[in-house]
Structure 1
Amino acid sequence: MIVRLLYNFTIINLFALNEELYSLAGRFISYLELEKRYSGHTCTAYRNDLFQFIDFITLNYGSTPVGDLTHVMIRSWLARLMEDTMTAKSVNRKISTLKSFFKFCLRQELIKQSPMIKVVAPKISRRLPGFIEEKGMRALEDNRSPADLQIFTDDFEGITHRLIFEIFYQTGIRLSELIYLQEFRVDNGNLSIKVMGKGGKERVIPISPALGAQINAYTDLKRSNLEVFERGVLLVHPHSGKRLYPKYVYLIVHKYLTDHQITTLKKKSPHVLRHTFATHLANNGADLNAVKELLGHSSLAATQVYTHTTIEQLKKVYKQAHPKA
């Protein structure tokens, strides 16, 4: 209780010391929510980054109007983050937050120039994304583990879990996109789903007739198995009927991939299924621009990592098949 009181006392005093800057940050977050239509999850990330920065500024420089913020102050904050062993990827995300914030301030004519023009982002060493081999995904699709055991049960819970995997692997959507996927966005006539991605950008993803049939069967079972469930949303918790939440989906994916020895990857998350979707497309000759559109990437640079995966796959095939390898 003492820690909580002390913590609250500190936050209140920080706000009082730099009320103008904290209030401006609040206006920026409201702009992201109401005008840019960013998701709640994204806005929370922006808010946390921005308030962390303002906390640092207030503690180290005192009351500082937005027009007095300099690249030196920003660099000192970034240096502190890296001293605390924050990864380059996480630091770059915070830099992106500040760039957006100062761009907002420019539009509002609160500053004449963004201090971010003199801030250089640290380089990120790109690691190849982990993915599940095709035989592992076939085991999930066939509902038979490598040990020849049934993976998903035949009850509503098992059917829900199986559909989670099928949608992830067959569409490559993000965890947040799966959770907020609405029933009306599934178009069985055209065999496609409409997904609301980052920044409120909508994209259309084709689905197979088999997945369309699975979704239809699931929606019927949902109505017959649950007296009360959240309306509109496609996937719900098999017992409570409420919208799925991120931790639940993560635990489900991790459990099945681990318990049934589907992969030896250390990281067994929903995002691995997204990487698997993209990697399998690339390995089977899909055009990189098409993969970009399906994933909802804003630039081709983010998708190009899968070309490296394809090269690694070609090397593997070469070593296995070529007599001189």
Structure 2
Amino acid sequence: MDLVKYFLEELRKENIISENTINFYKSDLDYFQKFIKNNNLLEISQDELEEYLQHIKEKYSENSVIRKITSLKSFYKFLLKRELLKVSPIENISTSRKDIKVKKFIEERELKAIIDVCEDTKIGNRDKIIIKLLSETGLKIVDILGIELNQIKENNYRFFLVKQRNIYVLINLSEDLSKELKEYIERYNIDSKFIFGELDNQKFKTNFLKYVKKANLDRNIVPSMIKNRCNYEREKINNYHNLDEIEIFDEIKKEYFAIGIGDE
């Protein structure tokens, strides 16, 4: 018996929920079945379920994860009522937001993939610079778009000021990014008040999502996840500062081995 088909047909007969919701159920259940590669949905192991949950948390937004878990709960609750199984494998999985810990920062490989697909045009190089600024500074996009040309020139492209909570904060740039920013300004003869002209948050986000799609990344990624990564990396550094010298050495070794550097 095709349990998913049976479930959906019964929902339509009951005529309680909308066709749109039923289609969501179908999409989520088809995705689940395809992922676990198990045709017998009555014999799902906890390992298979945990692997699936980890997968969707890494790939999808919080709302999408909650929806996919809810679809599974509804499906297995239906099977329980029809006495097709005795215990739901997903019975104890929470859909509470505080329990759904979605990875909300961009990974290094994803960031590199997005940067690599930016074309060698004025717009492409502009967006590439913005992405690198977001990654290096951890600022909001509105702060990056508000960088004034005269100020960055006067400071030899090395730093600029940002007003945060009525206090001006000095933002230093790395030597490489400083050089790249200067080359961008000179190459395209930027002469507007703001380095990135009249570009607004929404337009940049639209371009960014196009780069994500072009990079063939397999999960939803938005610009704010770049800032989150910067904060995540800073937190790791702060944690190192709380370790003694031996612990720091051990942590660094782990990082090296993880990327294939160093001896066993």
Class of the TM-score when normalised by the shorter of the 2 chains: 0.3 to 0.5
TM-score by length of 1: 0.40
